[in-house]
Amino acid sequence: MLSPFVSKDIMQKHLALIAQRTPIGRHAVVIMDGAGWHTVILPHLLAI
């Protein structure tokens, strides 16, 4: 996913795409820092 800017909305869309592509029973690893847009409502089946 490429975006000319970052925001909570973009991060939420990115996490939703990861959740959609990760098979049930499997895990995806996402490394995040403390940026403000990393504090989003998580898509279904996604936990930090």
| 47 vs 21 pLDDT, higher one | 21
Give the integer Cα–Cα distance in Å for 26 and 32.
19
> Does the pLDDT value for residue 48 go beyond 70?
no
User: What pLDDT is stored for residue 39 in this prediction?
Assistant: 66
Longest Cα pair distance anywhere in the chain, in angstroms? 33
User: What pLDDT is stored for residue 23 in this prediction?
Assistant: 92
Comparing 1-5, 25-29, 36-40, 41-45, the range with the smallest average pLDDT is: 41-45
pTM (whole model) above 0.75:
no
Q: Which amino acid is at 43?
A: P
Mean pLDDT for the stretch of residues 17-33: 86
Mean pLDDT for the stretch of residues 22-48: 74
Cβ atoms 1, 12 nearer than 8 A: no
